[in-house]
Copies of this chain bind each other. A is one copy, B any other.
Amino acid sequence: MFGVSSLSTVSVEEINSLIDTPKMFQFYFHKDRGLNSNMLQRAKAENFDVLALTVDTITGGNRERDLRTGFTIPPKMNIYSIADFLIKPLWTINYLTHKKFDLPHLQEYVDEGTNVFTSIGSYFSTMLDQSMNWDDAEKLCSEWNGHFALKGIMSVEDAKRAVDIGCTGIMVSNHGGRQLDGSRSPFDQLAEIVDAVGDKIDVICEGGIQRGTHILKALSLGAKACSAGRLYLYALAAAGQAGVERALSQIRNEIERDMKLMGCDNVNQLSRKNLRFR
């Protein structure tokens, strides 16, 4: 299943015209309720199968590395980033010659022109609704009226509440480790969350999935599936479509090979007996 977010550079309409496979829309909850409704309706109209409400990004993380490297939109120049651009001239050429990024789900709702954000941080503080609460999530769930997940659950308590408000799934995630400094890894939280709600809703493990073995471990713990971003994005940045296809085929090969080596021929045979913690 492929997912795009409210902040995607490709619209839900374009995606629906391109692929027939299952689709997830990753929803950010904005102050502007008209924008929220608009996005929800567009995703529904384009046959998205799942709506995942992002709940771990009520405010942006303090990404200190980005502050040092000047990795903002537009890029902030400092001695290191200029050196990077000089060493890799194709970056600069691509940056200057390619179509500027659009954010098609948001562009009618921001006043300041196309290239609107000075930084991710200012987007989060200006447009997102930091007072979003469980009632908002419940209403959105009922408005969507289909498969609905909370993305960013890290505790048993919140997982149970997700069941209570009608979710059909949760994504155990800490937003790639870029939000709350010192948070545990989603995998560390997985077993107890599966124990609490695994029989009621789908528990998806996200965060750090880079290999087939990572998926086998998460499934062995009881996750229903895994979700990954950097896994395909790094491949995409390095080698385009061919890179993504190669990354995915390596994942598939590793899962198949290692299941053979574990003596399993069905994912149902994966269990905690495969794992030892230390």
Q: CB within 8 Å of B: which residues of A?
A: 56, 58-62, 130, 155, 157-158, 179-182, 184, 188, 211, 213, 217, 253-254, 257-258, 260-263, 273, 276
A108 to B249, CA, bound (A): 35
Closest 7 pairs between A and B when the two form their complex, measured CB to CB: A180-B261, A59-B260, A182-B213, A58-B260, A181-B213, A179-B261, A59-B257
Beta-carbon contact of A257 and B62 below 8 Å: yes
Chain B residues, CB < 8 A from A158: 263
Query: Can you list 27 residue pairs at the A/B interface with Cβ under 8 Å?
Result: A56-B261, A58-B260, A58-B261, A59-B257, A59-B260, A60-B257, A61-B257, A61-B261, A62-B253, A62-B254, A62-B257, A130-B260, A155-B273, A157-B273, A158-B263, A179-B261, A180-B258, A180-B261, A180-B262, A181-B211, A181-B213, A181-B254, A181-B258, A182-B213, A182-B217, A184-B276, A188-B276
Name the residue on B nearest A189 (C-beta): B276
Query: What is the minimal beta-carbon distance from A138 to any residue of chain B, in angstroms?
Result: 16
Chain B residues, CB < 8 A from A157: 273
Summarize A's interface: helix, strand, loop or mixed: loop
A46 to B58, CA, bound (A): 45
A157 to B262, CA, bound (A): 13
Kindly name the residue among A58, A211, A253, A257 whose own CB sees the greatest number of chain B CB atoms within 10 A.
A257
Chain B residues, CB < 8 A from A273: 155, 157
A61 to B182, CA, bound (A): 32
Chain B residues, CB < 8 A from A61: 257, 261
Chain B residues, CB < 8 A from A62: 253-254, 257
Query: What is the minimal beta-carbon distance from A221 to any residue of chain B, in angstroms?
Result: 14
Query: What is the minimal beta-carbon distance from A29 to any residue of chain B, in angstroms?
Result: 14
Given contacts A61-B257, A181-B258, 7 further A-B contacts (CB under 8 A): A59-B260, A60-B257, A130-B260, A179-B261, A180-B262, A182-B213, A184-B276
Chain B residues, CB < 8 A from A60: 257
Query: What is the minimal beta-carbon distance from A153 to any residue of chain B, in angstroms?
Result: 11
A45 to B213, CA, bound (A): 43
A181 to B216, CA, bound (A): 11
Name the residue on B nearest A175 (C-beta): B261
Query: What is the minimal beta-carbon distance from A178 to any residue of chain B, in angstroms?
Result: 11
Query: What is the minimal beta-carbon distance from A134 to any residue of chain B, in angstroms?
Result: 10
A84 to B39, CA, bound (A): 59
Query: What is the minimal beta-carbon distance from A226 to any residue of chain B, in angstroms?
Result: 16
Chain B residues, CB < 8 A from A260: 58-59, 130
A56 to B260, CA, bound (A): 9
Chain B residues, CB < 8 A from A130: 260
